[in-house]
Amino acid sequence: MPLRYSTVRGRAFGEGIRAAIAQSGMTGRELADVLGWQEAKVSDMVNGKGGITFQDVVLVLGACRVPEPERERLLDLFPDRELDGWWQPHGKHMPIRPRTARTHLAAAESLVSWHPHAIPDLLQTTDHARVWLTASATVPATEVDERLRALQELQELLRNGVDCTFYIHEFALVLQVGGHEVHVTQLCHLMLMANWKRIKVLIVPAAAGAHAGIAGPFTQLKFPKYQPLIWATTENSSLFVEEKSATDSYESVIQALGKISLDQDESTAWLSRLCVRLQEASGAERVTGEDDEPFPPL
């Protein structure tokens, strides 16, 4: 079956309308009765089909008594709901629960993620994530605990049956985030996650030198009914790329990373050796001090 044409903006709009109806306590049929519509018209609005006017949206939001901030968000979305791609500026810092990313991750059937300098958020331990958040120049200290809870909620979505492949550069793994125990525990957690049936953790070794992913991190999401998209983040914005030539380019990057990365067994063995070396180095420091030569590279 061919994939249905749909945009990130359109799905966000439809999801917002669906949530507004649900929060009103009405069914689609009941809302249609209130507005004097056919039920099919409400369904068309929720599913992003044509034939809906701006005035129709205003009527629905009013009937559902949607609060002003959400009402304005949906009214802003409506005119652009058929545009490909979406750059979302978030102000000073990322939202605690980025709605668009969470919705699409929950709907995805496969995920491929590339990280050249950090452990992917979806694979971070709580202690590791806390160190990252605390080090941030833009995340308020008062939000750290709530952001950790939000991250755990996001990680739970991996249990929904999505097939995941995480490409991680060696530099991200040897970088000590937090103390020695936090570092080693994070590496052990990666090995544990790599044993999940639907998760692959593949390492891009430093020996590979220059590579196709040098431009930066991104995540590819594929869906049962929609075209794939690319999700990337900056310090305070999110980018969703869905134009076909652009997503095809990212697919080429993924294929290139696959050619230079270690395979599953090699990656797990590499992580295991790194954990052992770190444990040995920690023991040696307690005996000989910190001025000795570091252990040789893996």
When the pLDDT of each residue in the chain is averaged and rounded to a whole number, the result is 91
Taking the CB of residue 287, how many other CB atoms lie within 10 A of it?
7
Residues 37 and 112 in one domain: no
Q: Of 13-22, 40-49, 157-166, 197-206, give the lowest mean pLDDT range.
A: 40-49
Task: For residue 169, give the nearest of 200, 133, 208 by alpha carbon.
Answer: 208
pLDDT value at residue 290? 44
Alpha-carbon span 166 to 111, nearest angstrom: 8
CB 208 within 8 A of CB 260: yes
pLDDT value at residue 1? 47
pLDDT for 47 beyond 90: no
pLDDT for 284 beyond 60: no
Mean of pLDDT values over 2-15: 80
Residues 18 and 121 in one domain: no
Q: Is residue 297 part of a domain?
A: no
| Domain termination residue (choose one: 80, 112, 138) | 80
Residues 118 and 138 in one domain: yes
Residues 60 and 192 in one domain: no
Mean of pLDDT values over 125-150: 97
CATH of the domain at 116: 3.30.870
Number of compact structural domains in the chain: 2
CB 181 within 8 A of CB 149: no
pLDDT for 78 beyond 60: yes
Cα torsion 144, 148, 150, 154: sign = positive
Alpha-carbon span 157 to 106, nearest angstrom: 6
pLDDT for 286 beyond 70: no
Residues 30 and 164 in one domain: no
| Domain termination residue (choose one: 37, 62, 80) | 80
pLDDT value at residue 131? 97
pLDDT for 259 beyond 90: yes
Q: Which residue segment(s) compose the domain that 30 sits in? A: 8-80
Alpha-carbon span 66 to 81, nearest angstrom: 19
Residues 109 and 254 in one domain: yes
Alpha carbon of 68 to those of 31, 52, 64, 73, 89: distances in Å? 19, 21, 12, 8, 20
pLDDT for 297 beyond 50: no
CB 298 within 8 A of CB 270: yes
Q: Is residue 224 part of a domain?
A: yes
| Domain termination residue (choose one: 80, 113, 131) | 80
Residues 133 and 41 in one domain: no
